[in-house]
Amino acid sequence: MNNNNDSEVKSAVRVLELLELLARAQKPLTLKMIVSELGYPKSSTFNLLATLVSRAYVTRDESEAYRIHEAFRNGPGWSSGREAQLIAAAQPIMDALRDAEGETVFLGVRRRDGRIRPVTKSVSHQLVRFDSDMTGSDASFCTAMGRVMLGYWKPEKTAAYLARERIVQITEHTIIDRVQIRRTIEAARENGYAISDQEAVIGGSGVAAPVRDATGEVIAALNIAVVTARFATNRERMIAAVIRNADELSSRLGYKGPNMENQ
What SS3 string covers 117-168?
EEEEEECCCCCCCCCCCCCCCECCCCCHHHHHHHHCCCHHHHHHHHHHCCCC
Q: Tell me which residue of 155, 228, 144, 236 sits closest to 193, measured CA to CA.
A: 144
Residue 87 pLDDT greater than 90, yes or no: no
The Cα–Cα gap between 187 and 193 comes to 8
Q: Tell me which residue of 34, 31, 19 sits closest to 71, measured CA to CA.
A: 19
Helix (H, G, I), strand (E, B) or coil at 212: strand
Task: Name the percent of the chain lying above pLDDT 70.
Answer: 89
State the pLDDT confidence band at 1, using cuts at 50, 70 and 90. very low
- 60 beta partners: 66
The 10 Å CB-count burial string (b at 16+, else e) for 145-163 is bbbbbbbbbeeeebeebbe
Q: Residue 221 is which amino acid?
A: A
Judge whether 112 and 155 are in contact, CB under 8 Å: no
pTM attached to this predicted model: 0.72
11-27 residue pLDDT tens: 888 888 898 888 888 88
Q: Tell me which residue of 46, 199, 67, 45 sits closest to 120, measured CA to CA.
A: 67
Task: Name the percent of the chain lying above pLDDT 90.
Answer: 62
State the pLDDT confidence band at 51, using cuts at 50, 70 and 90. confident
Mean predicted lDDT score pLDDT of the chain: 88
Q: Tell me which residue of 40, 102, 107, 35 sits closest to 69, measured CA to CA.
A: 107
The Cα–Cα gap between 220 and 191 comes to 16
Min mean pLDDT across 50-64, 87-101, 140-154 is at 50-64
